[in-house]
Structure 1
Amino acid sequence: MDQLSAMRVFLRVVEMGNFTRAADAMGMPKATVSNLIHNLEAHLQTKLLNRTTRRVMVTTDGALYYERANQIITEIDELDGSLSHSRTNPSGRLRVEMSGAFADLVVIPALKDFHEAYPDISIDLGVGDRPVDYLAENVDCALRAGAPGNTSLIARRVGEVDLLACAAPDYIAAFGTPQHPSELETDHRLVNYFFAQNNRILPFVLTRGEEKMEINGRYTVSTNDARSYSAAALSGLGIALLARFMARGALEDGRLVPVLADWQVERLQLYVVYPPNRHLSNKVRVFVDWLVRLLARSQLAPPD
């Protein structure tokens, strides 16, 4: 038995949920797929799949085998990708995580360009600000705001986000326009953002010349998702520190107004985060290089 081929077939059957679809996807007869799975189960002396007339279900042993086999096949593909042919033609599945705001407003609108340059790379895009288990979920890289707290991960600074304090006109009509940051602690309400990775609150720090203030005001709602954070500000729930690229449209059409415009907000640093050794993969390298160029065009690149 060619165990490596059997492992690849097993992975595809699990992903497709059906022997026929897996056979079609791999361009081989269904009988060959069935024989390879049968031989693999005989070799391992355990049942990996429960078969019904319509679909297959993974057994407990099958789920464990899938997780490890997927890691092994991924590492083999990355090893193959380090050879000269794959340097110019990287291929395979790329699992990327990022917030919904970056995905919707920055990355997805430009993703067609990446696909045209690298047509053999398929991207599995996980969207959200939640913490991820990079190894268990087989994540190749993630775009994250703020330095990662996990020191076992590799982080590369690739950009920064310009923040500004703003609020909805309804909020301003109800509470007035603050003239000094100190008023945010007494007369106003905030919308807070907390990082899902460590529950740390994005600090409300404002500077003007030599003057610097960190605000610890009352908040109406706190969220760990960038799009929900923006929605809370648009709904008039309080003053928020929004990324300029997210707030641009709402500022232009008047759904948001800037406050304390003569005060500066510290920029938020952007990092691409990798699990160990994953940054050596060619498909990851070409994606991150493309992402850095995209951030520069979107005015999110760090200064030289």
Structure 2
Amino acid sequence: MDRLEAMRLYTRIVELGSFTAAADDLNLPRATVTHAIKRLETRLGAQLLQRTTRRVRPTGDGDTYYGHCRRLLADMDEVEADFREAAIQPKGRLRIDLPASLGWLLVIPALPTFFARFPQIELDIGTGDRFVDLVREGVDCVLRIGHLGDSGMVGRRVGMLQQATVASADYVRRHGLPESLAALQDGHVAVNWVSPNTRRAEPLEFMVGRRRREVTLPGCVSVSGMDAYLGCCEAGLGIAQMTRQRIAEGFKTGRLREILPAYPPPSLPITVLYPQQRQMPARLRVFIDWLVELTAAQC
């Protein structure tokens, strides 16, 4: 019998005034009850109960211990009730981190539907493309775009993002539209994307049938932030590759033109990462499930 069970047994003996009544109430053998109380008194180094032929009464120490037991057991019951309720109606705070572009364009505009469904969940949202140490920083989950290395985290793919190769209308007027990958390498330049994690410039990627082709172009500017990447492209500084959600407005206004649509960049996986844990909190589970629904509907 563990300590909590022993405390619960002790409080019932005090409340019922009888070992036998407590044993019957908790469906325990009388010998088990007697042995458990003896072990409890030995562990505490104090006599808790005075036994008479008619009734069992707590000693002075027993009264003090009974008060502590009542408070501790009430707190434990309240905690367990909260968790049972949370499993039915999830509640509590979640710390999440989103890529800035995906957060602003996809997740944040849809949050009213999430809160309408789960009004007792609070979100603490960070946005950025930096590496986040979930355990050290106390973050419950992060959403990431692209192929990920081994981080020791649990990963669940929630969707795929289509990409396009684009340049500004002004760039196309000056350099023309390349009609092949070979033509792309004849006088064209890129806004070079530098990975925030590796700090290396990434080549442009194209799908030719089922094969992935990489093309490295010169460029006068390199960036590692998505806002700067799009801004440099719209300023006519070179060709770039971005998700279609990110550049939809540029297509609509005519600021951007698509290049080599027959050879699109590979789609990018969207993955939610969270620490390994024996029991996933209900609030985290429903948030991840909602992300799956969201990306399925909009990506």
TM-score normalised per structure 2? 0.68
How far off its partner does 1:220 sit?
A: 2.9
Residue 210 to residue 147, structure 1, CA distance change in 2 (3 Å): closer
- 2:148 maps to 148
Structure 1 gap segments, 5+ residues each: 1-75
Whichever residue aligns with residue 115 of structure 1, its letter is: F
Alignment of 1:127-146 (within 5 A): 127-146=127-146
2:296 alignment partner, SS class: helix
- Whether the 8 Å CA contact 1:178–1:259 is kept in 2: the answer is yes
1:109 alignment partner, SS class: helix
- Whether the 8 Å CA contact 1:159–1:269 is kept in 2: the answer is yes
What percent identity do the matched residue pairs reach?
Answer: 33
Residue 204 (str. 1) matches residue 208 (str. 2): no
Whichever residue aligns with residue 191 of structure 2, its letter is: V
How far off its partner does 1:291 sit?
A: 0.9
- 1:214 maps to 214
Residue 142 to residue 81, structure 1, CA distance change in 2 (3 Å): farther
Whichever residue aligns with residue 276 of structure 1, its letter is: Q
Choose 176-185 or 198-207, whichever is displaced more.
Answer: 198-207
Residue 114 (str. 1) matches residue 114 (str. 2): yes
Residue 280 to residue 147, structure 1, CA distance change in 2 (3 Å): farther
How far off its partner does 1:80 sit?
A: 5.6
Alignment of 1:23-42 (within 5 A): none
- 2:72 maps to none
How large is the Cα RMSD of the aligned pairs? 2.3
- Whether the 8 Å CA contact 1:181–1:213 is kept in 2: the answer is no
**Number of aligned positions between the proteins:** 222
Residue 133 to residue 211, structure 1, CA distance change in 2 (3 Å): closer
Residue 282 to residue 144, structure 1, CA distance change in 2 (3 Å): same
- Aligned mates of 2:265, 2:296 — CA distance in 1: 20
How far off its partner does 1:199 sit?
A: 3.3
How far off its partner does 1:268 sit?
A: 1.0
How far off its partner does 1:284 sit?
A: 0.9
Structure 2 gap segments, 5+ residues each: 1-75
- Aligned mates of 2:139, 2:161 — CA distance in 1: 24
- Whether the 8 Å CA contact 1:148–1:273 is kept in 2: the answer is no
- Aligned mates of 2:81, 2:197 — CA distance in 1: 31
2:220 alignment partner, SS class: strand
> Which of the pair has more CA radius of gyration?
2
CA displacement 1:27-86 (0-9 Å, x = unmatched): xxxxxxxxxxxxxxxxxxxxxxxxxxxxxxxxxxxxxxxxxxxxxxxxx9xx96994311
Whichever residue aligns with residue 297 of structure 2, its letter is: R
- Whether the 8 Å CA contact 2:147–2:268 is kept in 1: the answer is no
2:155 alignment partner, SS class: strand
How far off its partner does 1:95 sit?
A: 0.7
Residue 237 (str. 1) matches residue 275 (str. 2): no
How far off its partner does 1:161 sit?
A: 1.0
- 1:93 maps to 93
Whichever residue aligns with residue 148 of structure 2, its letter is: P
CA displacement 1:257-303 (0-9 Å, x = unmatched): 111122122111111011222881211111111111111111x2xxx
Whichever residue aligns with residue 116 of structure 2, its letter is: E
Residue 107 to residue 279, structure 1, CA distance change in 2 (3 Å): farther
Residue 97 to residue 212, structure 1, CA distance change in 2 (3 Å): closer
- Aligned mates of 1:293, 1:90 — CA distance in 2: 18
